[in-house]
Structure 1
Amino acid sequence: MKKILIGMAFCLLFVPKSFSQGNTEYTGGFKINFNEDGSKYLRMIAWGQFWAQYNDNVPEDVSTTNFSVRRARLLSFTQLNKKFLLLSHFGLNSLNGSNLSPVGKGESSQLFYHAFWGEWKVAENFYAGTGLHYWNGISRLNNSSTLNFMTLDNNRQSWAVLGLSDQFARHLGVYIKGRVGRLQYRVSFNEAITSTLDSSNDPTPNGRAVYRGRELLGSADAGKVIQGYFDYQFLDEESNFLPYKVGTYLGSKKVFNIGAGFLTHSNGVVVMDGAGNIEGENVNILAVDAFYDAPLGEDGSAITAYAVFQNNDYGRNFNLGPYGTGNMVYGHVGYLIPGPADKSRVQPYLSYQTRTIDAIDDNANRLGLGINLFMTGHHSKLTLEYANSKVGAGDSNGVVTLQAQIYL
């Protein structure tokens, strides 16, 4: 494993400079203008993330090295005037040798809508929309853009109800968004899905909560999902035209935000008493976070730092993979090494997460050590990350991932 780590790091750090270029060539994706000033347009963005992953903590009959397409996506949006917008986002995730289909018709091989929403301008700095949307609550990371992560990928537990009340971190509902001075906000009122990642588990007498409220109690009793996120922007203001929060600006902005958010789902889970009676319990998730991203001088160096505290209440002793009733603290920091903007840039980073899991009365921890090589900003980059995770008294698991990303 040590030889593999050294070899992958060598490939990442010593890409020939002749292939490097600045990201100033990027002009906003493929855009079709319908008038001379460009106010009526259709814009399209395409991106792909490709993984090679090494994991030696697998059974003897399982390969330690695997390849996958982590994301293949196409996003488009259009405006005929400033009063309304239509957005469409579709693609696939985590396509690998285990879920490829012989003729491309298997479930994991299929493209599906990640988002489809319409939005109207109600007043200055106030908008309303509806559809399958990504205007999430809780935290900045629950609204992350997958195009410009600083770390290899998002902190998984920050997409706190992915597959439990939503479809792959997107809810079907209505939202409002806007700003008041330097305070930005987004609030939504949404349907919950009936078939959840927890649907194969049944409630048991005095057992853990099961995220099947809508299925077992009915849509009238299970209630809607209400969520919101609010962040105050002390320095440069970020765009809220689209919901996607930037992971790192590579020194191009000076941003310091403090945010807070929530998600509540009445009777989202069910529990069973000793007599076999089922009743609902509410899901409540709260978070506070801070984000800082700024250049450090005239030499091109920059720092990115983020921290969040999140309280997760999924009901009595809920524990399902990355989800669990308890608290979570997560943070990451990255340093962009000095260098000219039109050459390859290197950014080492560190991430750490610790969370309590009430169901097992123990903690889970994850440490990530990584490095980015930006050949054309985020539009062409390589990321190498070693992650070590441990849940409770179980064995720790170390995984090395090399990612290549292109987005146009």
Structure 2
Amino acid sequence: MIYKKTIPVLIGIILLFSQYSISQEKQTTPFRNKPLKWYLNDDNTRWLGLHTYLQLWGRVNQNNPGSTVSGELQNTTTDISLRRFRLAIKGQLTEKLFVYTQVGTNNLNYLSGRETSIKLLDAYAEYSFSEKFTIGGGKSLWNGLSRFSAPSTSNLMIADVPFLALPTVNTTDDLLRNLSIYTKGKIYKVDYRFILSKPFPIENEIEPAEGIAEFANTHADLQYAGYIKYEFLQPESNKYASHRGTYLGKKRVLNIGFGFKYQPDALCSLNGGEEQFHDMNLLAADVFLDVPINGERGTALSAYFGLFQYDFGPNYIRSIGANNPTNGLNPESASFNGKGNSYPVIGTGTSVLYQMGYLLGGIGKNRDKGKLQPYARIQYSDFDRLDDPMISYDIGINYFLNGHLSKFTLNAQSRPVFFDMGNTIEKGDRKWMFVLQYQFRIQ
């Protein structure tokens, strides 16, 4: 089996890099975990800051049936890629005014060509009247619906984002970003955000079919979203839009949240050959727990449970293959999943997302470094269009050289493969994807 050959190689690479990191740490002054900030006044209330990070992938993927590279069938692909790169400049220009800009790129792999495209991701400003009420606007990650609908991709516990929580990624938004205005605030233990945005046009519009909804450009109504959470233990910062995946035992967090995303007439299907428009009506509820277990040993528990009720219109479904390692599909042998590592992740129906991880105690005098965190995640979706439930899962482990600033993640993902049988879409075998990720971050 492919994973029996792959896993020892990946583990060997981890050990090689970790030994190098430890040796360098002994020879040089340790990297200080201080943000890069330049203060603009004497009392340090006004400042400019910078952060950057990258995520490098080494991967082996069992491709879906019919996947091709340059027209040739390829059952397995091994590649190296840049999953994400970010560079941000932010500033507290007055006691009330905060600005944030960020550029970056995603999914730079061997199929991307030789010209790297760095794009503007975020550019927004906000004015804070008080802790209870702030208003902002621009292009930003401020999203509603659920905790991980605005994920902090450099502070995740799992190797990659849960795409179930990103229902409009690169359809009506741009890498989760929208041109929008938003309000946010904290009232007692309630943290809230509400967003009004103008959706981007659908770039790869799919013609609607009989009884099958697809996103349409015909109507361009505003999109409404919101997320409210109740913080039972320590409050989380809402300075930035994104939510962390784990605090590594540095905070005691227990939240319960509710959210929505709505756009009228966002999708279209055919009913007796006539166009019929459908509202996008998405609801979610979730619980997030991240608490230290043994303060002396530095152990911690992280867990998340999310319930998602999605209504995109009849039989809508979407397959996603992040950082896809193939670029073509042979229609004669193709599955319903699509090419490469794609599989049905989002659709009309009910889904459950659960993840849990346990941070083990460190070794030696400095127990904040060299720590391990095994984890698991499962998605169970009952999509209207599929005859069988969609169940995917990830298992993996983080090795923290210096918290989220320098870490390795070894992740194995199992996905189902579905086949269109004409009148039914049925589940067949499963495929695996193995990823070794290294993340470096300057905060």
TM-score by length of 2: 0.84
In 2, Cα distance between the equivalents of 1:39 and 1:12? 41
Matched, 1:313 2:318: no
In 2, Cα distance between the equivalents of 1:326 and 1:111? 36
Name 2:42's counterpart in structure 1.
36
Matched, 1:47 2:49: no
In 2, Cα distance between the equivalents of 1:11 and 1:89? 31
Name 2:356's counterpart in structure 1.
333
Deviations 1:309-333 (A, max 9, x none): 1011111111121321111111111
In 1, Cα distance between the equivalents of 2:139 and 2:234? 30
Change (3 A) 1:319 1:23: farther
Give how far 1:3 is off: 2.4
Among 398, 402, 405, which residue is 1:379 paired with?
405
Q: What is the 5 A alignment of 1:154-193?
A: 154-193=161-200
Q: What is the 5 A alignment of 1:202-241?
A: 202-204=207-209, 206-212=210-216, 215-217=217-219, 219=220, 223-241=221-239
TM-score by length of 1: 0.91
What secondary structure is seen at the aligned counterpart in 2 of 1:141?
Answer: helix
Q: Which residue identity is paired with 1:242?
A: Y
Matched, 1:282 2:288: no
Name 2:421's counterpart in structure 1.
none
In 2, Cα distance between the equivalents of 1:10 and 1:65? 16
In 2, Cα distance between the equivalents of 1:24 and 1:373? 17
In 2, Cα distance between the equivalents of 1:336 and 1:20? 22
Give how far 1:124 is off: 3.8
What secondary structure is seen at the aligned counterpart in 1 of 2:314?
Answer: coil
In 2, Cα distance between the equivalents of 1:249 and 1:161? 27
Q: Which residue identity is paired with 1:35?
A: N
1:176–1:186 contact (8 Å) kept in structure 2: yes
Matched, 1:405 2:418: no
2:417–2:431 contact (8 Å) kept in structure 1: no
Name 2:108's counterpart in structure 1.
95
Name 2:119's counterpart in structure 1.
112
Give how far 1:153 is off: 0.6
In 2, Cα distance between the equivalents of 1:150 and 1:123? 32
Larger deviation, residues 224-233 vs 34-43: 34-43
In 2, Cα distance between the equivalents of 1:23 and 1:363? 49
Give how far 1:6 is off: 2.2
Name 2:141's counterpart in structure 1.
134
What secondary structure is seen at the aligned counterpart in 1 of 2:385?
Answer: helix
Moved over 2 A (4+): 9-25, 56-64, 122-125, 340-343
Q: What is the 5 A alignment of 1:287-302?
A: 287-297=284-294, 298-302=296-300
Name 1:258's counterpart in structure 2.
256
In 2, Cα distance between the equivalents of 1:261 and 1:394? 34
In 2, Cα distance between the equivalents of 1:295 and 1:352? 23
Give how far 1:18 is off: 3.4
Kindly report the root-mean-square deviation, in angstroms, between the aligned alpha carbons of the 2 structures: 1.9
Among 346, 362, 375, which residue is 1:323 paired with?
346
1:350–1:368 contact (8 Å) kept in structure 2: yes
1:354–1:365 contact (8 Å) kept in structure 2: yes
In 2, Cα distance between the equivalents of 1:69 and 1:122? 40
Give how far 1:346 is off: 0.8
Segments of 5+ residues of structure 1 without an aligned counterpart are: none
Deviations 1:318-372 (A, max 9, x none): 1121321111111111111112434311111111111112112322111111000
Q: Which residue identity is paired with 1:284?
A: N
1:332–1:350 contact (8 Å) kept in structure 2: yes
In 1, Cα distance between the equivalents of 2:372 and 2:140? 34
In 1, Cα distance between the equivalents of 2:63 and 2:113? 23
Give how far 1:24 is off: 8.3
In 2, Cα distance between the equivalents of 1:391 and 1:136? 31
In 1, Cα distance between the equivalents of 2:73 and 2:214? 33
In 2, Cα distance between the equivalents of 1:18 and 1:186? 45
Aligned residues: 391
Matched, 1:71 2:71: no
In 1, Cα distance between the equivalents of 2:313 and 2:152? 29
Name 1:349's counterpart in structure 2.
375
1:363–1:391 contact (8 Å) kept in structure 2: no
Change (3 A) 1:127 1:193: same
Q: Percent identity?
A: 31
Deviations 1:270-305 (A, max 9, x none): 12221x322321011111101111111121111111
Q: Which residue identity is paired with 1:382?
A: F
In 2, Cα distance between the equivalents of 1:238 and 1:281? 36
Give how far 1:178 is off: 0.2
Segments of 5+ residues of structure 2 without an aligned counterpart are: 320-344, 419-426
